[in-house]
A and B are shown apart, each in its own frame.
Chain A
Amino acid sequence: MRSCCSSTKFLWNLWLGVALLLCAASVQAAGTPIPHGTLELIAENQSIAAGHELYLGLHFQLEKGWHIYWVNPGDSGEPPRIKWQLPPAITVGEIEWPTPRRLGTPSIVDFGYEDEVTLIVPIHAQASLASQQSAQIGAEVKVLVCREICIPGKAQLSLTLPVESRMAAPDARNSSLFAAARKSLPRPAPRSWKLSVADAGNSLVLTANLGHQVSQAVFFPLAESQIDNAAPQKLLPASAGFRLALRKSDQLRKPIARLKGVLVLSAAQAYIIDVPLGSPGATENTGAEIYAAQFLDEVPLR
């Protein structure tokens, strides 16, 4: 009698425990609340192995109309900031930022992400991790979420990864998020491209020889205060590329050495460019100046 009841009770407790675990798992999957959205820390693989690299992801899901910021936020706002809490045997790399979008108004332009975005970041496990059974990874994330108004949020996220002798296969639950994140990363510019940047007084002119025509090009500057974010970027298509005039920022007081950023030619074509400021021949320079003046100030030249 007693044994019967206690075993029923045991089973009942077991089921309760399972139910609670499932419940916790579903909450985990939904992510930690942030203002007008949720944030979840995910790993590309189910476990980690000493001597290997693994990608983590911060998956932001935002309510319609709300956004967070790129590494260069543009005219207002700030990018998410992460304070990692890692075991000594794990080191973390840099966030790989997906191509941003232009957000804001005609006079104030920001760079960021709406709806959903995953920021991926590599971590590396040193050999000494092998002595551990699991690795506890924590991240304190400070994030500014904006629509017309901005609300600062903070989330404490954590993830426990078992330590195994070999890298586990990718975690199927997260593979689509990591695939989407990688697809949204800007790629290195093709080696065949010929890019140059000329200082044309009030603007910087990016001249690109890509070997083919383009109908649109938008530049996102990696550094703050180089170009005027809100100024229209004027594109002059050429037979094998284009010229793009970028008005200088009012905060730019010294000549720049390089123009770094992301060049977007279409939704599926975004490239990282890093172009030293050239000293092109006199003819080309004059061309750039006339071009810049003509296009930036809407003054017809002919």
Chain B
Amino acid sequence: MKRSTLYPILIALFLCAALPLILSGKTGGPAPEFTATASNGKTVRLADYRGKYVVLEWHNNGCPYVGKHYKSGNMQKLQKQWTGRGVVWLTILSSAPGEQGYMTANEENDYLAKVQAAPTAALLDPTGQIGHLYDAKTSPQMVVINPQGVVIYDGAIDDKPTTDLEDVPGATNYVNLALEQALAGKQVETPTTRPYGCSVKYADSAH
């Protein structure tokens, strides 16, 4: 193969390789747009929140790692704290019907009331479309999007990948760090971590 024909192919290959990164909502890249139905019946478009910080929280109420953050009240505290400061908090349920964590709108509304959760909205994603768009692997995986629509954090909620409630108080919370640093006009020091937890129960989950 001649060099002159090889270069365009190499460039094409590079673009092919880079395209999935650009499209899949990786840290530093644009947050993929989505439209979803919330448990309160409203239609939520990510684009409507341009100009605000947005937190995405992958949720499965049967997952013990998620349970750690709800039973300790940590997640509710974060939701109240950040929505109180104008941040949009979207809880996302990507479990397929029949899988752990799948909820109908009514079930989710009852759950939110029972645990006194305070997200801006809980989005029902039974097809896993939003989950796959962000390549969400676990619950509770967390994503932070800045007002320009760029992903500034993607990963674990904190640095203690366990199910122990006693690990919550001493943990370094990466969502807090990312939002605090971004709001202070600083670079986010830890823009990505391994998202610990239960696997997201997509329709392709093994049985």
Contacts and interface: CB of A to CB of B under 8 A. Distances in A.
Nearest to A110: B199
A297 interface: yes
Nearest to B190: A253
Interface of A: 75-78, 81, 103-108, 110, 142, 144, 146, 148-152, 201-202, 224-225, 250-251, 253, 290, 293-294, 296-297, 299, 301-302
Interface stretch (B36-44, B112-120, B132-140): B132-140
B4 interface: no
B3 to A, nearest CB: 11
Contacts of A105: 199, 202, 204-206
Nearest to B20: A297
B14 to A, nearest CB: 7
29 contacts: A76-B138, A76-B199, A77-B198, A77-B199, A78-B161, A78-B162, A78-B196, A81-B162, A105-B202, A105-B204, A105-B206, A108-B200, A142-B162, A142-B164, A144-B64, A148-B99, A148-B100, A148-B201, A150-B63, A152-B64, A202-B17, A224-B194, A225-B194, A250-B135, A293-B14, A293-B17, A294-B13, A297-B16, A299-B13
Contacts of A103: 206
Classify the interface of chain A: helix, strand, loop or mixed: loop
Contact of A151 (B9, B14, B64, B205): B64
A253 B191 contact: yes
Contacts of B198: 76-77, 146, 149-150
A148 B96 CA distance: 12
A225 B191 CA distance: 13
Interface string B17-48: 11001000011000000000000000000000
B94 to A, nearest CB: 11
A145 B132 CA distance: 25
B190 to A, nearest CB: 9
Contacts of B14: 201, 293
B205 A250 contact: no
B62 interface: yes
Nearest to A65: B207
A78 B138 CA distance: 12
Interface in B104-162: 132, 135, 137-138, 154-155, 161-162
